[in-house]
Structure 1
Amino acid sequence: MNRNFWITALIAFINSLSFTVLIPIIYLYGKQFGLSDFQTSLLFSIYSIAQFFATPVIGKLSDRFGRKPLLIISLAGTAIANLIAGTATTAVALFLARLLDGITGGNTSVAQAVISDITTPENRARGFGIYGAALGLGFVLGPVTSLLAQQISLGAAFLVSSAVAFVALLITVFYLPETLQNKAEKAHNIFDLGLGNLIKGLAIPKVGILLIINFFIGTTFTIFTYAFQPYFLNVLGQNSQSLTLMFLTFGVLGVIMQTWGVSILSRRFNLVSILFLGLFIRSLSFVLMPVWLNIVYFVGVSILFSLFNSLVQPMINTLISLNANPQDQGTAMGLNASYLSIANGIGPVIAGMLIHQSNPKTYSYPLYLAGLLTFVVLFLAIVTRKRYANKVK
């Protein structure tokens, strides 16, 4: 892996840190503005919906004008949006900040396109594994950084997130060169910004089916993530400190698996087999988690889940990259991130419909549902493998 790869991995880590600082506090911060539970949930959905529409646009523009300028715009948008949120005095300003962050939130897909540009096909799985580990490290340090920032105020966490994104922006400006060698042709219609690709992308040979599979992977996963925290806290009777330790454990194991684990497995098994393994263990873990109300048992299943769950996204990203044309890497990764964004908005809604706060047992229902649906996704991936795995070794 060359210098540009490690710079991109560093940017990915910093960007992930900026994002995960906010995860524990958005709900509580919304409450400070007098928002209801439903209104607070819109802080999550407005970001995901905006990102859904904006990410393919950013991805396509990065194919036309280069990765670096679009990554700069995206990171600048995140820094400005979180600065506005951290200093907001009205709920309207907070919603506008979340909207801006979603509109410019395509930095992940552009960074993935950079990885595609600078890695050879045979090294791409390892590259995405290390990239995923960089994101995972951000997920380790993000909640801890958030806890420290919260000692000042909830708004301080947004300001810290803004500062962290600004650091990633500076590294991009001064240290990351342009990696796109062959730019896509200029559009005959200046308004052709890639929104049509949200539908057309599904028809791209080999890539379209992977986008559908990854959309369902994301939806089932966010059903789980919505229910995980209240289940851990309310059903198992744990506290926020032990929850933080769980996130740290997930992050550390994810980093280990996505660096050494992916590299070892990709030398012995093909990418599709590794994806199937990750999906199988993920679905099995979801179903097993709520079977026995015991914290030791739950932690044990969670560790198994964390190890193999970290294989899924690097493999699907690699498969999409390998099946996309070189000049369409940004578009493909943008579409992938876009469909994952809308999945992030759908999963929690499904889980929320199953949960009743007055009955803590209902927190287990989304876990069972996520497990069963992930088995269905695995079945879909198996029966359609000939459409995307012909040239994958």
Structure 2
Amino acid sequence: MSFIMLTVLIDMIAIGLIIPVLPPLVGTFTQDQGEHAFWYGVVTFAFGIANFFGSPILGALSDHHGRRPVLLLGFTGLALSFFVTGLATALWMLVAVRLVSGALQANAAVAQAYVADISAPQDRAKRFGMLGAMFGMGFVLGPVMGGLLGAIDLHLPFYVAGGMAVLNAVYGIFVLPESLPPARRTPIDWRKANPVASLRQLRDLHGVGLLVVVIGLSGLAQFVMHTTWVLYTSFKFGWGPKENGWSLFAVGVMTVLVQGGLIRVALKRTTPQRIAVLGLVSSTLCYALWGAATEGWMMYAVIGLNVMGFMVQTSIQTVVSQAADEQSQGRTLGAVASLNSATAVAAPVLGAALLGLVSHLPQGDWRIGAPFFLCAGLQALSTVLAIRHFRRHPVSTSAPVAGANA
């Protein structure tokens, strides 16, 4: 477990490094704000659509060849993406390299399959939480480092991130062990290695069903929030990069605290299914509160209140993983990643359109919160569907989840 946690941490720091500098880098190739927004959308869309089609293929490859070689492929793709982006001299280069890196990048899904390989079913929720803590820590460290390096030179974070991806590849070659023994590997069925077939397979897993829709709606809400957070706080409170940086830092810290420890406490007392429902309810309320906030400090207060909301992804992921057999973990979690990629493609379109409709309103107007009210509606629908699903597929709650005390 320590091997894969270190791999994920390095990977997430590298990805986090470019978050604050990719938008301004795109802006260096454009003439005005409208053109800047359009091309940043194209660059973001390129990665998302390539990842949507690539994730199930990489998941299937990891089920057949093992997790380690697919992770190494992902690290190589990331390194290529970072270095070429830093050296780019035209917009088409940025779009092309994001297409390639999106197609090769399924590190998160393969890492989750790796954890499923080495964990007993009753330990997966706890260990997915540990993995989530690494994602959160990378999100804490990466953007801060990227902002500091970007202040020196806009291209520097890309070179540092590329170096970290190379470091991860070297670590994978010489240190990271394979998690999937040959006896548990399965041949590739190319008819199923596409996003439509993989999502259908995900839907048909016993005990999953409506959770596919829950994952999609909840993921869409989360990505709308991520893509509109900075512009929303700028329009609503007049925040600049410094204030937004600290707010994202607070989100990262909460992710580490919840995924690294508090979720284990919750698992001692209840099941992943109940945690998912409570988290969805919490997120619904918090999205609405973020949208209605009238002072900047309220954003921090809501981040602190949304403890259960930070457990949603891990708890649902655990339910889905337990529904899949040992031979299809990579394909299953690749399908989840593909679904998340689809929502990441749609989210900027919805969020930007709503912000465009309210951008003329005066600072502090409650209607500027329209993207967050949309998130609240999506999450509320997710909650209803999750409750309906879990009533159809009840689980024993007479004892806490085994291994939660470990």
TM range (shorter): over 0.9
User: Which aligned pairs between 1:197-216 and structure 2 lie closer than 5 A?
Assistant: 197-216=198-217
How many angstroms apart in 2 are the aligned matches of 1:292 and 1:79? 40
Equivalent residue of 1:178, what SS? Answer: coil
Preserved CA contact (<8 Å) 1:110 1:330: yes
Q: Are residues 1:20 and 2:16 paired?
A: yes
Task: Name the CA shift for 1:290/1:36 in 2 (closer, same or farther; >3 Å).
Answer: closer
Aligned position for 1:89: 89
Q: Are residues 1:32 and 2:34 paired?
A: no
**Shift of residue 190 of structure 1?**
6.3
**Shift of residue 166 of structure 1?**
1.5
**Shift of residue 381 of structure 1?**
0.5
**Shift of residue 252 of structure 1?**
1.3
**Shift of residue 159 of structure 1?**
1.5
Aligned position for 2:340: 340
Q: Which amino acid aligns with 1:359?
A: L
Aligned mate of 1:365, from 362, 367, 370? 370
Equivalent residue of 1:12, what SS? Answer: helix
Q: Which amino acid aligns with 2:170?
A: L
Give the stretch that moved more between structures: 233-242 or 109-118. Answer: 233-242
How many angstroms apart in 2 are the aligned matches of 1:36 and 1:137? 30
Aligned mate of 1:384, from 378, 385, 389? 389
Task: Name the CA shift for 1:106/1:387 in 2 (closer, same or farther; >3 Å).
Answer: farther
User: Which aligned pairs between 1:265-304 and structure 2 lie closer than 5 A?
Assistant: 265-304=266-305
User: What runs of 5+ residues in structure 2 fail to find an aligned partner?
Assistant: 402-406
Q: Which amino acid aligns with 2:274?
A: S
User: Which aligned pairs between 1:215-254 and structure 2 lie closer than 5 A?
Assistant: 215-254=216-255
Preserved CA contact (<8 Å) 1:210 1:388: no
Preserved CA contact (<8 Å) 1:60 1:331: yes
Aligned position for 1:127: 127
Query: How many pairs are equivalent?
Result: 387
How many angstroms apart in 2 are the aligned matches of 1:237 and 1:126? 40
Equivalent residue of 2:184, what SS? Answer: coil
Q: Which amino acid aligns with 2:29?
A: F
Q: Structure 2-normalised TM-score?
A: 0.90
Aligned mate of 1:7, from 3, 27, 31? 3
Q: Which amino acid aligns with 1:185?
A: T
Q: Are residues 1:115 and 2:137 paired?
A: no
Q: Which amino acid aligns with 1:367?
A: F
How many angstroms apart in 1 are the aligned matches of 2:255 and 2:291? 22
1:82-137 CA-partner distances (Å, limit 9, x unpaired) = 11111111111111111111011111111000000111112111100010000000
How many angstroms apart in 2 are the aligned matches of 1:151 and 1:320? 42
How many angstroms apart in 2 are the aligned matches of 1:319 and 1:389? 12
Task: Name the CA shift for 1:245/1:190 in 2 (closer, same or farther; >3 Å).
Answer: closer
Preserved CA contact (<8 Å) 2:211 2:389: no
Task: Name the CA shift for 1:169/1:211 in 2 (closer, same or farther; >3 Å).
Answer: farther
Q: Which amino acid aligns with 2:2?
A: W
**Shift of residue 191 of structure 1?**
7.2
Task: Name the CA shift for 1:61/1:194 in 2 (closer, same or farther; >3 Å).
Answer: farther
Preserved CA contact (<8 Å) 1:52 1:339: yes
Preserved CA contact (<8 Å) 1:66 1:183: no
Give the stretch that moved more between structures: 322-331 or 164-173. Answer: 164-173
Equivalent residue of 1:154, what SS? Answer: coil
Aligned position for 1:310: 310
How many angstroms apart in 2 are the aligned matches of 1:258 and 1:74? 24
How many angstroms apart in 1 are the aligned matches of 2:394 and 2:103? 33
How many angstroms apart in 2 are the aligned matches of 1:209 and 1:173? 39
**Shift of residue 154 of structure 1?**
2.0
Q: Which amino acid aligns with 1:358?
A: H
How many angstroms apart in 2 are the aligned matches of 1:372 and 1:198? 23
Preserved CA contact (<8 Å) 2:213 2:382: no
User: What runs of 5+ residues in structure 1 fail to find an aligned partner?
Assistant: none
Aligned position for 2:326: 326
Task: Name the CA shift for 1:349/1:14 in 2 (closer, same or farther; >3 Å).
Answer: same
**Shift of residue 194 of structure 1?**
4.3
Preserved CA contact (<8 Å) 1:207 1:324: no
Poorly superposed stretches of 4+, deviation over 4 Å = 189-192, 386-389
Q: Which amino acid aligns with 1:272?
A: Q
Preserved CA contact (<8 Å) 2:8 2:111: yes
How many angstroms apart in 2 are the aligned matches of 1:163 and 1:209? 41
Equivalent residue of 1:254, what SS? Answer: helix
Task: Name the CA shift for 1:75/1:388 in 2 (closer, same or farther; >3 Å).
Answer: farther
Preserved CA contact (<8 Å) 1:230 1:363: no
Aligned position for 2:404: none
Q: Structure 1-normalised TM-score?
A: 0.93
How many angstroms apart in 2 are the aligned matches of 1:297 and 1:207? 36
**Shift of residue 169 of structure 1?**
1.4
